[in-house]
Amino acid sequence: MRKSGQRVRTAVAVLTAAVFGLTGCDALGGDAPDEAGLGRQRAEGPAVLWDRSPASIVAVGDSITRGFDACGVLVDCPQVSWATGSSPEVNSLAVRLLGARATTHSWNVAVSGTAMADLPAQMERAAARGPELVTVMTGANDACRSSVSAMTPVDDFRADFKDAMRTLRQTLPKAQVYVASIPNLMRLWSEGRTNPLGKQVWKLGICPSMLGDADALDAAANQRRATVQQRVMDYNSALAEVCGADEYCRYDGGAVFDYRFGTAQLSPWDWFHPSKNGQARLAEIAFRRITAEKP
């Protein structure tokens, strides 16, 4: 009996050691299946939690974020900006997120006419405000050049955006960033060309690479517009790539590009920039993306 009991105790000890050995291997991130993901969390660190209610906002970008041509011809109108405007007609992102604090806790440092190469300087000004969220909408002017050949190369566009993100991170390593895609310029042309007044304003120099010779439908004109459209799509891919490499950045997934702007969403002065209605739609898109539980 004594020998039998000893054999039982020995077997229990061996089994116990084996169980603890396997558990220890899993805890250290071994090759065993980890359905709960606990091993991966320990190995990679905890997932970054996106704050769906940031307490302060700075907007960077170009004429769209400045509300250009939304209130009058060829003038900025930041009070109707989708990002930080105060107009109840728009119900901007800042108003939706911050409420009464929007006037004291949001800032618009976007500049009409700027391109991606100008974004690092804007990011520096944005970082000085110490925001919890930075909104980015820029890149249309990189495609809206005097000609197709003058458009910003995609590699330069990507490099400038990376530089802008590095500039922000030097001061604010954990500030959240929302990046909006560039609108579908081909659709803006197709909608705006129905208005004679808008086409006259286009001749003043608004996005000539896409809007020049607005009524021309020959092979050369169609190829020119298709080339601009492809460049915009390539820019959006670069935005997604660079943003995707930053754990505190959310790209809109192409939501702005995919939005079907109609005449009601276009400026009644240039039939290209967003109207107040269009600005409101941009605010809705941003709010949904930023407050979503997952990107």
Mean pLDDT computed over 5-17: 41
pLDDT: is 154 or 4 the higher one? 154
Give CA 169 to chain center in angstroms.
16
| Residue 213 burial (CB count, 10 A) | 15
> What's the confidence (pLDDT) of residue 294?
87
Quick one: which of 134, 130, 129 has its CA closest to 97? Answer: 134
Distance from C-alpha of 2 to C-alpha of 93, rounded to nearest angstrom: 79
Residue recorded with tokens 């109207």: 275
Three-state SS letters, 241-262: HHHHCCCCEEECCCHHHHCCCC
pLDDT at 40 over 80: no
DSSP state of 59: E
Quick one: which of 29, 92, 24 has its CA closest to 57? Answer: 92
Give CA 84 to chain center in angstroms.
15
Predicted confidence (pLDDT) per residue in 173-209, tens digit: 999 999 999 999 999 999 999 889 888 889 988 999 9
Give CA 183 to chain center in angstroms.
12
Q: How far apart are the first and last CA of the chain?
A: 66
Predicted confidence (pLDDT) per residue in 75-85, tens digit: 999 999 999 99
Quick one: which of 96, 67, 13, 60 has its CA closest to 270? Answer: 67
In three-state secondary structure terms, 192 is helix
In three-state secondary structure terms, 217 is coil
Q: What are the CA-CA distances from residue 75 to residues 62, 64, 69, 137 (Å)?
A: 13, 11, 6, 18
Residue 254, classified by CB atoms within 10 Å of its CB into exposed (0-12), middle (13-18) or buried (19+), is: middle
65: number of CA atoms within 13 Å, CB side? 32
DSSP state of 4: H
Amino acid at 169: R
> What's the confidence (pLDDT) of residue 47?
61
Residue recorded with tokens 């929302």: 178
pLDDT at 29 over 60: no
Distance from C-alpha of 6 to C-alpha of 20, rounded to nearest angstrom: 21
Distance from C-alpha of 210 to C-alpha of 172, rounded to nearest angstrom: 37
> What's the confidence (pLDDT) of residue 91?
98
pLDDT at 32 over 60: no
pLDDT at 42 over 90: no
**How does residue 46 score in pLDDT terms, banded at 50, 70 and 90?**
low
Residue recorded with tokens 């799509």: 233
> What's the confidence (pLDDT) of residue 198?
84
> What's the confidence (pLDDT) of residue 49?
86
Residues 6+ apart with CB under 8 A from 194: 263
> Encoding tokens for residue 234?
């390539």
